[in-house]
Amino acid sequence: MKHIKTLNQANLKETAVKGGCGECQASCQSACKTSCTVANQKCEHKK
Amino acid sequence: MMIHQYKLNGYNIVMDIHSGAIHVVDDIVYDIIEKLTPPLADNCPEELYALAYSKEDIDQAYAEVLELYKAEQLFTQDDYARFDKLMTVSPIKSMCLHIAHDCNLRCKYCFADTGSYQGGRSIMTAETGKKAIDFLIKHSYGRRNLEVDFFGGEPLLNFGAVKEIVEYARSKEKEHNKVFRFTLTTNGVLLDDEKIDYINKEMSNIVISCDGRPEVHDRMRPRVDGSGSYNSIMPKFKKLVEKRGDKEYYIRATFTKYNKDFTEDVLHFYNEGFEQISIEPVVTDPKHPYALTEEDLPEVFAEYDRLAAKLIEMRKNGEFFNFFHFMIDLDQGPCAIKRLRGCGCGNEYVAITPDGEVYPCHQFVGNPQWKMGDLDSMEVNLATKETFARSTVYGKDECRECWAKFYCSGGCNAANMQYRGNILKPFKLACDLEKKRVECAIMIQAALAE
Ligand code: SF4
Ligand code: SF4
Ligand code: SF4
How close is the Cα of B68 to the center of ligand 1, in Å? Answer: 27
- Residues 6 or more apart from B308 whose CB is under 8 A from it? B9, B326, B440, B441, B443, B444
Ligand 1 atom nearest B334 alpha carbon:
7
- The dihedral through the CA atoms of B100, B106, B107, B112 has a sign that is positive
Which of B113-122, B194-203, B320-329 is predicted with the least confidence, judged by mean pLDDT? B113-122
Select from B25, B254, B335 the Cβ nearest to the Cβ of A43: B335
- What is the SS3 assignment for B318-379? CCCCEEHHHCCCCCCCCCHHHHHHCCCECCCEEEECCCCEEECCCCCCCCHHHCCEECCCCE
| B377 min Cα distance to partner chain A (Å) | 25
Please work out whether the CB of residue B426 comes within 6 Å of at least one atom of ligand 2. yes
How close is the Cα of B384 to the center of ligand 1, in Å? Answer: 24
Mean pLDDT of B128-135: 98
pLDDT of residue B120: 75
Please work out whether the CB of residue B28 comes within 6 Å of at least one atom of ligand 3. no
> Which of A30, A41, A47 would best serve as a mutation to test chain B binding (most B beta carbons within 10 A)?
A30
pLDDT of residue B119: 74
Which of A38-42, B41-45, B284-288, B364-368 is predicted with the least confidence, judged by mean pLDDT? A38-42
In this structure, the residue with its CA closest to atom 2 of ligand 3 is B412
Confidence of residue B82 (pLDDT cuts 50, 70, 90): confident
Provide, as residue numbers in chain A, all residues whose Cβ is less than 8 Å from the Cβ of B83. Answer: 16, 20
How close is the Cα of B222 to the center of ligand 2, in Å? Answer: 34
pTM confidence score: 0.94
Q: What is the pLDDT of residues B429-449, one digit of tens each?
A: 999 999 999 999 999 999 999
Q: Is the pLDDT of residue B109 over 90?
A: no
Please judge whether B64 and A33 are an interchain contact, meaning their C-beta atoms are less than 8 angstroms apart.
no
pLDDT of residue A47: 44
Mean pLDDT of B96-112: 89
Please work out whether the CB of residue B86 comes within 6 Å of at least one atom of ligand 1. no
Q: Other CB atoms closer than 10 Å to residue B116's CB: what's the count?
A: 16
Provide, as residue numbers in chain B, all residues whose Cβ is less than 8 Å from the Cβ of A34. Answer: 207, 250, 252, 278, 280, 324
Q: Relative to the alpha carbon of B417, which ligand is closest? A: 3
Q: What is the pLDDT of residues B366-409, one digit of tens each?
A: 899 999 999 999 999 999 999 999 999 989 999 999 999 999 88
Q: Is the pLDDT of residue B61 over 90?
A: yes
Mean pLDDT of B20-38: 97
ipTM value for the complex: 0.89
Please judge whether B331 and A8 are an interchain contact, meaning their C-beta atoms are less than 8 angstroms apart.
yes
Return the bridge partners of B16, or none.
Answer: B3, B21
How close is the Cα of A37 to the center of ligand 2, in Å? Answer: 12
pLDDT of residue A35: 44
Please work out whether the CB of residue B349 comes within 6 Å of at least one atom of ligand 3. yes
pLDDT of residue A29: 67
> What average pLDDT is seen over chain B?
94
Please judge whether A13 and B183 are an interchain contact, meaning their C-beta atoms are less than 8 angstroms apart.
no
Query: For residue B52, what is the DSSP state?
Result: S
> Which of B151, B185, B343, B419 would best serve as a mutation to test chain A binding (most A beta carbons within 10 A)?
B343
Select from B147, B325, B340 the Cβ nearest to the Cβ of A25: B147
Q: Other CB atoms closer than 10 Å to residue B320's CB: what's the count?
A: 10
Select from B18, B61, B324 the Cβ nearest to the Cβ of A3: B61
Please work out whether the CB of residue A7 comes within 6 Å of at least one atom of ligand 1. no
Rounded Cα distance, A36 and A26, in Å: 8
Confidence of residue B331 (pLDDT cuts 50, 70, 90): confident
pLDDT of residue B86: 76
Please work out whether the CB of residue A43 comes within 6 Å of at least one atom of ligand 1. yes
Query: For residue B46, what is the DSSP state?
Result: G
For chain B, how many helices (H) and strands (E)? Answer: 15, 16
Digitized pLDDT (tens) for each residue of chain A, 47 residues in all = 999 999 998 788 888 888 888 888 777 766 555 544 555 677 887 64
Which of A30-34, B201-205, B269-273, B291-295 is predicted with the least confidence, judged by mean pLDDT? A30-34
The whole-angstrom distance between residue B321's C-alpha and the CA centroid of its chain comes to 18
Ligand 1 atom nearest A22 alpha carbon:
5
Q: What is the CA radius of gyration of chain A?
A: 15
How close is the Cα of B348 to the center of ligand 1, in Å? Answer: 13
Q: Among all residues of chain A, which has the CA nearest to that of B334? A: A43
pLDDT of residue A31: 56
Mean pLDDT of B127-136: 98
Q: Is B82 helix (H, G, I), strand (E, B) or coil?
A: helix
Ligand 3 atom nearest A28 alpha carbon:
8
Rounded Cα distance, B223 and B228, in Å: 6
pLDDT of residue A44: 80
| HSE, side-chain direction, 13 A CA sphere, residue B239 | 14
**Whether the Cβ atoms of residue B410 and residue B390 lie closer than 8 Å to each other:** no
